[in-house]
Amino acid sequence: MTTANKTLTEILDAVRERHRFVLISHMRPDGDAIGSQMAMAYALRALGKTVRIVDRDPVPSQFLAFPGIDDIEVTSEVGEDFDAAIVMECGDLSRTGVKGLEKLFVINIDHHPGNTMFGRINWFDESAAACGEMVFDLIDALGVQLTPEIATHIYIAIMTDTGGFHFGHMTPATFDICRRCAEAGARPEAIARAVYDSSTLGRLRLMGAVLHSLDLEAGGRLALSHLSLKMLADCGATSDDSDGLINLPLTVKDIDAVAFFREVTSESHRISMRSKGSVDVNRVAKAFGGGGHKNAAGCSMTGPYPEIRKRLIEEMCRSLTAS
């Protein structure tokens, strides 16, 4: 039996033995976080389990219309009245932003490189295109029938984590899972429309402002953009409206990496990074105490913008040169 199969068997046993579950994902949840949680919730409830779904931050608006989303509770602390916590999509426990998990029997299911194996059971598969792929395999192994709701949430997880089937560890298995989801009632076109074509005017304005702020470094291979609090206010946009804008520069052939600086306060920024192919932005994020994947990573930095920008460019150039 392979290690992965052994871990899966341990999870199956742990799930069968236990009754009260809390399902958690990361702060500022994305499609993979929400899709994984919701699919797991439907599957566990089909097995007669009691389930609560908890996130530190609210669900972004483009996911609100999908089935069951109202069940997600926004809170930063959980009590002890659970037999297990299933933490999905989190490289370490602090990514949840939720307190009280240390006391629970934690099952860690994740695909982020560098996962700290913080659970009692750790199922970590870096080769999965989305955590939702792993959740699909678990649901399959539990013998739960795919319903339209489960299929929809698994499809959301995979579609969003691959940027609409654009990047990441896509394999034939990815498409086989999506095929099975479509067969079970997931509607790819409706899902893509709801997720990608349900924008606000604020976001459209913000897109213009962020693109206007764009400049190039590293001989045109690196794009940098900046989003200040003032730009948000001027565009009548919220910070949710900025999700995904980071990907736009990568549509340019010669741009291999992008860093998007989001002002949090005058002295602190969140930085999101994306890259193509072998350019490793996870290494850059780690140099500043963050993390993520090779082609999508993030970190926080403090200090005046011109200064942190310069430090990040230096580190980015190392990754670009090494690629």
The per-residue DSSP string of 231-251 comes to HHHHHT--GGGGTTGGGGGGG
Instruction: Please enumerate, as own/partner, the contacts of 98-105 that have beta carbons within 8 Å and a separation of 24 or more.
Output: 98/24, 98/54, 98/55, 98/56, 101/24, 104/22, 104/78, 104/80, 105/14, 105/18
Q: Does 292 bind ligand 5GP (CB under 6 A)?
A: yes
**Among residue numbers 94 through 123, which ones bind ligand 5GP (CB under 6 A)?**
112
Angstrom distance (rounded) from CA 135 to CA 153:
10
* Site stretch for Mn ion (CB under 5 A), options 12-20, 28-36, 61-69, 218-226: 28-36
Torsion-angle region of residue 75: left (phi > 0), alpha (psi -120 to 50) or beta?
beta
Q: Does 161 bind Mn ion (CB under 5 A)?
A: yes
* Site stretch for ligand 5GP (CB under 6 A), options 7-15, 41-49, 168-176, 296-304: 296-304
Angstrom distance (rounded) from CA 218 to CA 274:
15
Among 299, 301, 316, 320, interactor with ligand 5GP by CB under 6 A: 299
Length of the chain in terms of residues written: 323
Q: Does 221 bind ligand 5GP (CB under 6 A)?
A: no
Angstrom distance (rounded) from CA 98 to CA 154:
24
Q: Does 293 bind ligand 5GP (CB under 6 A)?
A: yes
Shortest distance, position 292 Cβ to ligand 5GP, whole Å:
2
Q: Does 291 bind ligand 5GP (CB under 6 A)?
A: yes
Among 29, 35, 60, 91, interactor with ligand 5GP by CB under 6 A: 91
Q: Tell me whether residue 51 or residue 223 sits nearer to ligand 5GP (CB atom).
A: 223
Task: Tell the residue number behind the tokens 């598969």, with chain if given.
Answer: 125
Among 297, 301, 308, 320, interactor with ligand 5GP by CB under 6 A: 297
* Site stretch for ligand 5GP (CB under 6 A), options 14-22, 62-70, 116-124, 293-301: 293-301
- Residue 252 neighbours by CB under 8 Å, 6+ apart: 223
Q: Tell me whether residue 68 or residue 298 sits nearer to ligand 5GP (CB atom).
A: 298
32's contact among ligand 5GP, Mn ion, none, with CB below 5 to 8 A by partner kind, is: Mn ion
CA dihedral 169, 293, 157, 204 (to 10 degrees): -110
Give me the residues that bind Mn ion (CB under 5 A), please. 32, 131, 161
Give me the residues that bind ligand 5GP (CB under 6 A), please. 91, 112, 272, 290-293, 296-300
